[in-house]
Amino acid sequence: MNIIILIIVLYIYMILPRTINIRDMSIFKKYYFAHRGLHKGEEIPENSLSGFSHAIENNYAIELDVQLTKDKEPVVFHDYSLKRVCGLDKMIYDLDYEEIRKLRLYNTGEKIPHLEEVLSLVKGRVPLLIELKMDTKDITLCGVVAPYLDKYKGQFCIESFNPLGLWWFRKNRPNIIRGQLSSDFVKDGEKGDKKLYFVLKHLLMNFLSRPDFIAYNYLYRRTPSFLIIKNLCKTPTFGWTIDSKEVFQEVRKDFDMFIFENFRPDQI
C-alpha cells in the first residue's frame, strides 16, 4: 500500500505545472491563434510575413515556429527539412543564414523570415505564441532567442515539445510565460524512442519546466495527465491544431485557447 501511495505522490509531483506566482494569461484568451499565420496554400505561405500580416489584419493572434540555421541565426520555419516548402532536400541547420535567404517559400517571392523581422512586423499588435523547435538535447536556440524576446514590447509566450528548453527559460527567464507542447507521438506515427514518447505524452517532465500552460493535440485530450492538470490544477490550455468548424464546436469546451488552421473561427 505504501508503495502505491509513493508512486501516486511521485506521479503528481512529476506532472505538476507552475503552482505559485501563477501568470495572468487573460490577454491570450481574448484571441484565436492562427497556426503559422493566416496562410492560404501557396498563395499566402505558412510562416511568412504576408501570412502574419494577414492574421494581424483580421485580428488573430499568431502561432509561429523558430529554429536555428547553421550559423545560429533564429529563423521562422516549421519543418526541419526544406524539401516540402522550398523544394530543397536539405535541413535548415545545414545552411547558413545567407544561403537560407536565397530560398523562396513555395513559388512566391516570400523569403524565410528572421525572428527579428517578424517581431518588427507585429510590434505588439496581436499576441504571439512562439514554438521553439529543438528535437535533441541541444538547447542552444534558447540562449539565441532570449535576447530578441527581451527587447520585444508586445504580448507573447513560448512553447516547446522539448522540456529541456522550457527548463532553460525557467532558470534564465522565469518571467517569460512558457508552455509544454505534447501529443500521443506513437499514434501520430513519429519514429523514435517509445519510452521517451510515453514520458512526454504523459507530461512526466513537468517537474523540470513547471509550465504555465499546456498545449495539447486535441485528438488526445482525454489523456489522464492532461485532464488532471486542466481540471484539478486549473492550468490554462491550448488545443492544437483545430482544422474545421466542426472540430472547433466539438472541442471548444475542452480548452481555454485554440490554435486553428484552414478555416476562420468567429472572433471572440
Report how far residue 126's alpha carbon sits from residue 32's, in angstroms, rounded to the nearest whole number: 10
Task: Tell me which CATH code domain 40-176 carries.
Answer: 3.20.20.190
Considering the chain, tell me which residue range(s) the CATH 3.20.20.190 domain(s) occupy: 40-176
Q: Residue 2: pLDDT band by 50, 70, 90 thresholds?
A: confident
Q: What is the pLDDT of residues 14-62, one digit of tens each?
A: 999 999 999 999 999 999 999 999 999 889 999 999 999 999 999 999 9
Give, in degrees to the nearest 5, the angle at Cα 237 between 209 and 32: 125
> What percent of the chain has a predicted confidence (pLDDT) above 90?
95
> What average pLDDT does this structure show over 162-166?
98
User: What pLDDT is attached to residue 267?
Assistant: 65
| DSSP code string of the chain | -HHHHHHHHHHHHHH----SSPPP-TTGGGS-EEETSS-BTTTB-TTSHHHHHHHHHTT-EEEEEEEE-TT--EEE-S-SBSHHHH--SSBGGGS-HHHHTT--STTSSPPPPBHHHHHHHHTTSS-EEEEE---SS--HHHHHHHHHHHH--S-EEEEES-HHHHHHHHHH-TTS-EEEEE--TTTTT--S-HHHHHHHHTTTTHHHH--SEEEEEGGGTT-HHHHHHHHTS---EEEEEE-SHHHHHHHTTT-SEEEE-SS-PPP-
Q: Model's pTM, two decimal places?
A: 0.96
Q: What are the angstrom distances between the C-alpha of 115 and each of 86, 97, 159? A: 18, 12, 15
Q: What is the pLDDT of residues 195-226, one digit of tens each?
A: 999 999 999 999 999 999 999 999 999 999 99
pLDDT exceeds 70 at position 119: yes
* Residue-averaged pLDDT of the chain: 96
Q: What is the pLDDT of residues 56-107, one digit of tens each?
A: 999 999 999 999 999 999 999 999 999 999 999 999 999 999 999 999 999 8
